[in-house]
Structure 1
Amino acid sequence: MKLWIEILLRSLALFVLVFVMVRIMGKKQITKGTPFHFTSYSIIAIISALISVNVVTNIYIGFIALGVWFLFSLLLEYLSLKSKMFHDLIYGKETILIKQGKVMEENLKDVRFTGEDLLRELRSKNAFNVSDVEFAVLESTGEMNVLLKPDKKPVTPHDLGEKVAPQSESQTVILDGNIMDKSLTNVGLNRNWLITQLNGMGVSLDNVFIGQVDSSGDLYIDLFDDSIQLPQAKLKEQVYANLEKCQADLVTYALETKNDKAKDMYERDADKLQRLMNKLKPYLLK
């Protein structure tokens, strides 16, 4: 057999084999894995490449080495799931770098972090002042997680006592000018609705790069022609604005009528509508 044919066959076989091995080993990203994960993946890749290009002439020896790294990686992963002590031994433990607002210099030395390294990692977490940080920990993956001091945290609707509507995944209904029927079905819509929305915006389907519908039925589109400015549909805001108008009209009718019975009816209806608006506000206004 010619050498190039042998290398081609080896490469194809190893490609499939390594693909299966990586899938079995899990979905962890290299950038978020531990040094052990990085080392295992790298050595498996190197051994596979050496076998593929015939550097390892004895293919059986090569597959034995490949199998050892693969099986031992799975074994260590399994043992780490069963034992916290074993997990810490193999993958390492997290290290506290800032505690109660104070930098732990000794821990910085243990992980070989300089002051510049610490400040850079803090900036990557949007913490530009050390004085704003209550707690910072370096995970075994090398990623830093930061907890800001209570008075430095961004204000959330929960802090203000406001209710917000639950959010679900937006569905991409148009991609590269093509309608995604399955996505439309997922949000209970159809092509007729989509075409009507596009016609209302004065947009042709073939000019739409991406179209998405959120859980509230708002359609967002991005065009191939970026020079065209389009007002995006705001269905929820329009509904709330209509409710506000109706409530304001009821109040006006109550003030203008001379009939006491009609006045009471308008006032009751306006009050009911106001209570309904208060309940719907978190869902209709972002």
Structure 2
Amino acid sequence: MRKTPLAKTPLYALMILMALVSLIPFYMLLFTALTPSSISLADSRLLLRHFEWGNLAAAWRESKLGGAMTNSSILMGGSVLLSVLVSAGAGYVFARVNTWYNRILFNVLLFSMMIPGVINTVPLYSLMKAIHGINTHWAMILLLATGFIPQSVFLYANFIRGLSREIEESAVIDGCTLFEAFWRISFPLLLPITSTLIILNAIAAWNNYAQSVFFLQSQELQTVPLAISRFVQTYGADYTKMASAALIGMLPAVIIYFVFQRFFVKGISAGAVKG
């Protein structure tokens, strides 16, 4: 029996409530960022009568956020591009070539997803130092992309298993190599899962702090999280400017999400259950 709109009212109310609750952290961030310096955060109310927009300019200037956003953009773009290209090809091989050693390698990738990346910091530091990768963009891009690849390969492989082989076989019969058939025929069909991975990996790269704080020690190479951490001092923190810097720093990630969001749910659900 089809439910009437009135019967769905509790469901809509619950969804609205969940949306409002999820917006609370963003409201508190905006509230903290625009609180005038003359008002203590402990004494302020939930609604401000005056917004101090100058906090945003001060945070931008003092944290050198412009340079930090440029560095984060380089790391994000390079790592996302590299991880997508490598993972798409690897996922295709795992999905189409069913051999015992491919199955073993695929399971090894799945196992590596369970290992927290932070526990590899010490050996990674030794490796980065050995290859002269400390304070370099290229080494940090390789490091981030390597961390993204296991999950990306898993989602690509499961998504590709749901695609028909016939179009690839037809392309091979017409004279394409298997490599050409994948990149020209199959890869354009992977737009939903590719968009999903761009969102996931781009946001992870943009927000990366654990590796950046170890491997990007030069102030000229600092990323957005490192720039925000400049407002944390030994005997306290400037929460107003920290929130202002965070508010500005989150905008690129939000833009990326809205650009690719219409493919996000479709891609993540298909890549998780197909196969």
Q: Do Structure 1 and Structure 2 share a fold, with TM-score over 0.5? A: no
Q: Which has the higher contact order (CA 8 A, sep 6+)?
A: 2
Structure with bigger gyration radius: 1
Query: By percentage of residues, which structure has more helix?
Result: 2
Query: By percentage of residues, which structure has more strand?
Result: 1
